[in-house]
């Protein structure tokens, strides 16, 4: 799925200088599969807040991208 969340992840990964996956499927976990560290997560949260107006970590770490999208929809 290509949405703003994907765009945000691509930006973060490109700035880190790591390979950007071709597809971001719902089962991917930003920490385990994309190697995001604490500062990357903080940046992710801030960019999501700016794009969606949502504090995505408010009730904890969503987990997979599918879980992230659920939080963003609600």
Q: Which of 9, 47, 48, 65 binds other proteins (CB under 8 A)?
A: 47
Contact call for residue 41 and other proteins (CB under 8 A): yes
Element containing residue 44 per DSSP (H, E): helix 38-52
> Alpha carbon of 43 to those of 12, 13, 69: distances in Å?
8, 11, 17
Contact 30, 61 (CB under 8 A): no
23 vs 60 by CB, closer to other proteins = 60
Shortest separation between residue 49's beta carbon and other proteins, angstroms: 9
Shortest separation between residue 26's beta carbon and other proteins, angstroms: 13
Contact call for residue 32 and other proteins (CB under 8 A): yes
């Amino acid at each position: 799925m290509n949405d703003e969340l994907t765009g945000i992840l691509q930006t973060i990964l490109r700035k880190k200088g790591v390979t950007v996956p071709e597809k971001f499927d719902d089962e991917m976990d930003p920490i385990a599969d994309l190697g995001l560290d604490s500062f990357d997560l903080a940046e992710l949260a801030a960019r999501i807040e700016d794009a969606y107006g949502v504090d995505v970590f408010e009730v904890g770490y969503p987990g997979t991208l599918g879980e992230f999208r659920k939080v963003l929809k609600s």
